Amino acid sequence: MGSCKTCCQNIPTRYIIMAMIFFTTFINYTTRTNMSVSLPAMVLSGTTSQVAECETDEVKSSTNTTTKSKSEEVTGTKYEWNQAVQGLILGAYFYGYLMCSLPGGLVAEWVGPYLTIILATALSGVLNSLGVWLTSLHWGALFGTRFFIGACGAFIYPALQCVVGRWAPPQERSKFLACLMGNNLGTCWTWMVGGIVTQYYKWPWGFHVMSFQIVIFCIVFGLLMFDSPEQHPWITDEELKYIKESQEGTVSRTKSIPPYKAIFKSFAFWTLCVLHFGNLWGLYVQITAVPKFMKEYIGFDIKNSGILSSLPHLVRVFMGLGFGFLGDYLKRQFRRILIIKSFIVLSHIIPGILLGIIGLAKCNTTVVVTLLTLSMSINGATVVTNLAIPTDLSPNFAGTIFGIISFIGGTTGFIVPSQFQNNSIAWRTVFALGGIMYCSCGLFFILFGTADIQPWNEKRRTEEES
């Protein structure tokens, strides 16, 4: 511990917390998205789909029958799972996520984000590798492990909202939230590394590599993370004073039951809920649909699919970080709500248009990848919009708010996979509907939404009501 303190002496403590937020979301998404890469390698080719509609002579020459047979041999044991079973397995994470999203914020606010994050992450690592051995029993066993991994994941983002509420000076809040873009690097890493490991070392190692990462993360997180500035042993008096004074008494350390009645009666909350729902719909289309679309419709093998599909997420990391810094700067110059609504054009409207027209590209791989990259990267502006608004509305109950909107928005995690069918009309519908949800929910918030701090943020009033 002493050596860690010495190494970090010259780094503001809140920047270390930002790094922990980044790597928390990175690790969370490695176990959230690895099934999209692993599943095609786990099923017999005949049960996945018919021949890819976009398969050309060029694709055939690079993925001929001999190569496919070899690939099926080296990627591990195959299972005869039809499309319905595959859809259930892909959706299992989101069923668990949905189940535990509601209590996620309350647990983090009472237990503390430190324990919430480290315990949920460690358990998801154990379940991730356990699923490898249980899969041979029945696909339902794999479904069960994915379900409980999703349940663990449901606690992560509400806990991180608590971290932002406690640690972030309001003028730096977008920078803190930009660190949530670690999830995109996690997705990118999983699709590239997971695909390569699965291709050459069989699909079980695609799971085990992710679990090993979790062990390393938990050690580092356990040493560097603390629940609040007051508890951190390395923070300077100057930095502690800066954080507390900038928050101007809006953040209370007193434990209190969230004012659920006031939250559900709040129109400001419901406009945020609509905004977040639309974003998750579009986001899950890209997270879960892209690997299958690239492999089964365009005709790329798992290795190529992983690399190409990761590109939008890689660009989104840098765009999200840039939007975070830009958002903090602009909020100091103009009205906060004006900046937020302007950024919704970037986080929802433009990505929705780009996502919606992907189906028109048909078999043009270059156009598809370009549209996906632009749509996903520009959507990084969410660090200024729906990811930031929970803390704007209520720094004290940001975790609870985020848990509720994640519960409602999380339904898209299994609605989207249920649309998958391997024909051109179905894929156009998936992308078009994702674009419509992006745009309509964004427009709704532009017309009716607010980011003013709400009266029910005051814990004293909450305790009196309860």
Which pLDDT score, from 0 to 100, does residue 92 have? 87
List of residues 6+ apart from 351 with CB closer than 8 A: 282, 374, 375, 376, 378, 379, 438
Distances (CA, A) of 173 to 166, 169, 180, 303: 11, 6, 12, 38
Over residues 245-268, mean pLDDT: 82
Which pLDDT score, from 0 to 100, does residue 465 have? 42
- Please report the sign of the dihedral spanned by the C-alpha atoms of residue 169, residue 348, residue 189, residue 398: positive
Rounded (10°) CA dihedral 39, 41, 45, 48: 10
Which pLDDT score, from 0 to 100, does residue 54 have? 67
Q: What is the pLDDT of residues 12-32, one digit of tens each?
A: 899 999 999 999 999 999 988
Which pLDDT score, from 0 to 100, does residue 126 have? 95
Arithmetic mean of pLDDT over the chain: 83
Q: How confident is the model at residue 463 (pLDDT cuts 50, 70, 90)?
A: very low
Q: How confident is the model at residue 349 (pLDDT cuts 50, 70, 90)?
A: very high
Residue of 391, 306, 264, 289 lying closest to 340 (CA atoms): 391
Q: What is the pLDDT of residues 54-112, one digit of tens each?
A: 665 544 544 444 444 444 456 667 888 887 888 888 888 888 888 888 888 889 888 88
Provide the 3-class DSSP secondary structure of residue 79.
strand
Which pLDDT score, from 0 to 100, does residue 173 have? 87
Q: How confident is the model at residue 302 (pLDDT cuts 50, 70, 90)?
A: very low
Q: How confident is the model at residue 39 (pLDDT cuts 50, 70, 90)?
A: confident
Encoded amino acid at 420, one letter:
F
Q: What is the pLDDT of residues 164-182, one digit of tens each?
A: 988 988 888 889 999 999 9
Q: Among 71-85, 147-161, 443-457, which is the least confidently predicted range?
A: 71-85
Of 13 and 362, more confident: 13
Which pLDDT score, from 0 to 100, does residue 6 have? 53
Residue of 19, 341, 332, 309 lying closest to 180 (CA atoms): 19
Over residues 445-454, mean pLDDT: 92
The reported pTM is 0.81
List of residues 6+ apart from 73 with CB closer than 8 A: none
Max CA distance (Å), the chain:
72
Percent of the chain with pLDDT over 90: 35
Encoded amino acid at 141, one letter:
A
Which pLDDT score, from 0 to 100, does residue 250 have? 67
Which pLDDT score, from 0 to 100, does residue 68 have? 47
Which pLDDT score, from 0 to 100, does residue 61 have? 47
Q: Is 288 exposed, middle or buried (0-12, 13-18, 19+ CB in 10 A)?
A: buried
Which pLDDT score, from 0 to 100, does residue 461 have? 43
Over residues 264-268, mean pLDDT: 94
Instruction: Find out whether 414 and 91 touch, Cβ atoms under 8 Å.
Output: yes
Over residues 185-203, mean pLDDT: 83
Written as six digits, the tokens of 326 are 């830009």
In this predicted structure, the answer to whether residue 248 has a pLDDT above a threshold of 70 is yes
